[in-house]
Amino acid sequence: MIDSYGRKIDYIRFSITDKCNYRCKYCMPEDGVLDIGHQSVLRYEELLAVAKSAVSLGITKFRITGGEPLVRRGVVDFIKKLKEIEGVKEVAMTTNGSLLKDYAKDLKEAGLDRVNVSLDTLRYDRFKEITRTGNLEDVYAGINEAVKEGLTPIKINVVVMKGFNEDEVMDFVQMTLQHPFEVRFIELMPFSGNVSLNGSLISNEEIKKMLPLLKPLEINDGVARLYTYPQAKGRIGFISPLSSCFCDKCNKVRVTSDGKLKTCLHSNKEIDLNKALQEAEKTAFRDLSPVIEEIKKAILSKERRHSISPGKAVTKRNMNSIGG
Ligand code: SAM
Ligand code: SF4
């Protein structure tokens, strides 16, 4: 479907839970999130109804995220059913990797195409510091298993923060010399829950200056600008929501775990899908027109661009509940 600014919207991200087994400093409060209650979380059959409705409007790509998607029970079966929907071309997942070792095989069999794994540091002590609860070994084991099962190409999401991990940029680049991964440097975005990190933003322009041998590739990967390093097996992506707004290329909308459709990660506007889903459920989800209408209206009201700037958050939600 084409939005009011001529952008083709063909991609939805589902945050299937706002819960997580990590507490990354820039994403989650240390003591976790308030329980929104089982009742408020969209059931898988509701998510599948949203997916079918979206497909009828030309959405073909799906990403399962959270919170940590692998902490929600039944996720493998959900992915299988999602992938079986006619018209669904790609299903990917963003995960912290902690549980991938146990899930990679089943996810692949269920039809998951590939994973993005978030990894901000390659140092054990720092990993504990940033995730507050995580263990780097688990993530390495998860990545290895994902490679073995062919959940590829693997993308590694790295949020670079001043005074914290900017000295590891070269180590991540090194990773692309040895492995066919796409390492993506993501600028730290301001959310109401991470104001204490306001001074930690480091722009991707600054990172590029650290990497003089970087060569741009002709292609982009969604909103990531792609580069390569001499002799690299993989590539390097830069996602720069602050220093180089990519909103004119935005092709996605998001659905929160409590059933709100967000047309922009940084907007407070939310379209509640719950009522339309209740209507559709009266027909055992055979008539999806109420849901289709809501999604259509939402896409047509998609903002031209976000209005964040360094240190200025807009949305009241944090990333874990919106789905990154
Ligand atoms: N738990 C999964 C994970 O960590 O990959 C999926 C959800 S997480 C919210 C999705 C992505 O959002 C991660 O790559 C994370 O680093 C990124 N993220 C979270 N908060 C962010 C922020 N304030 N700025 C930039 N990226 C952020
Ligand atoms: Fe959890 Fe992902 Fe947020 Fe870290 S970034 S706290 S792993 S949801």
Label each residue of 238-256 as H, E or C.
EECCCCCCCHHHCCEEEEC
User: Cβ distance 103 to 96 under 8 Å?
Assistant: no
For tokens 């994403």, name the residue.
Answer: 27
Q: At what angle do helices 44-56 and 289-300 cross, to 10 degrees?
A: 60
Ligand 1 site, residue 157, Cβ cutoff 6 A: yes
What pLDDT sits at residue 245? 74
DSSP helix/strand/coil, 304: coil
What pLDDT sits at residue 308? 66
Q: Which residues pair with 182 in a beta bridge?
A: 155, 235
Peptide bond into 180 cis (omega under 30): no
User: Cβ distance 277 to 289 under 8 Å?
Assistant: no
Tell me the CA–centroid distance for residue 289 and ligand 2, in Å. 34
Ligand 2 site, residue 23, Cβ cutoff 6 A: yes
What pLDDT sits at residue 117? 98
CA 129 vs. chain centroid, Å, equals 22
Nearest CA to ligand 1 atom 11: 324
Tell me the CA–centroid distance for residue 279 and ligand 1, in Å. 33
Nearest partner of 17 among 201, 237, 255, 276, judged by Cα: 255
Ligand 2 site, residue 27, Cβ cutoff 6 A: yes
Distance, CA of 49 to CA of 65 (rounded, Å): 18
What pLDDT sits at residue 254? 95
DSSP helix/strand/coil, 192: helix
Nearest partner of 114 among 143, 74, 141, 71, judged by Cα: 143
Rg (C-alpha) for the chain, rounded Å, is 19
Ligand 1 site, residue 160, Cβ cutoff 6 A: no
Distance, CA of 15 to CA of 22 (rounded, Å): 16
What pLDDT sits at residue 314? 67
| C-alpha distances in Å from residue 95, one per residue of 39, 91, 130, 207 | 24, 13, 16, 24
Ligand 1 site, residue 20, Cβ cutoff 6 A: yes
Q: Both tokens of residue 40? A: 């408020």
CATH number of 11-322: 3.20.20.70
- Kindly provide the b/e burial profile for residues 82-120, where b requires at least 16 CB atoms within 10 angstroms of the residue's own CB: bbeeeebeebbbbbbbbbbbebbeebbebbbbbbbbbbb
* Residues of the chain with confidence (pLDDT) below 50: none
Tell me the CA–centroid distance for residue 281 and ligand 1, in Å. 32
Nearest partner of 15 among 254, 192, 213, 181, judged by Cα: 254
6-60: pLDDT as tens digits: 999 999 999 999 999 999 999 988 877 666 666 789 999 999 999 999 999 999 9
Distance, CA of 182 to CA of 233 (rounded, Å): 9
Tell me the CA–centroid distance for residue 323 and ligand 1, in Å. 8
What pLDDT sits at residue 267? 83
- Kindly provide the b/e burial profile for residues 217-240, where b requires at least 16 CB atoms within 10 angstroms of the residue's own CB: eeeeeebbbbbbbeebebbbbbbb
User: Cβ distance 13 to 82 under 8 Å?
Assistant: no
CA torsion through residues 270, 31, 189, 96, sign = negative
Ligand 1 site, residue 265, Cβ cutoff 6 A: no
What pLDDT sits at residue 198? 78
Nearest CA to ligand 2 atom 4: 24
What pLDDT sits at residue 34? 64
What pLDDT sits at residue 304? 83
What pLDDT sits at residue 268? 83
The best mutation among 17, 319, 321, 322 to test binding of ligand 1, ranked by most ligand atoms within 8 Å of the C-beta, falls on 319
Nearest CA to ligand 2 atom 8: 67
User: Cβ distance 139 to 97 under 8 Å?
Assistant: yes
Ligand 1 site, residue 96, Cβ cutoff 6 A: yes
Nearest CA to ligand 1 atom 2: 95
Element (H, E) at 280: helix 274-281
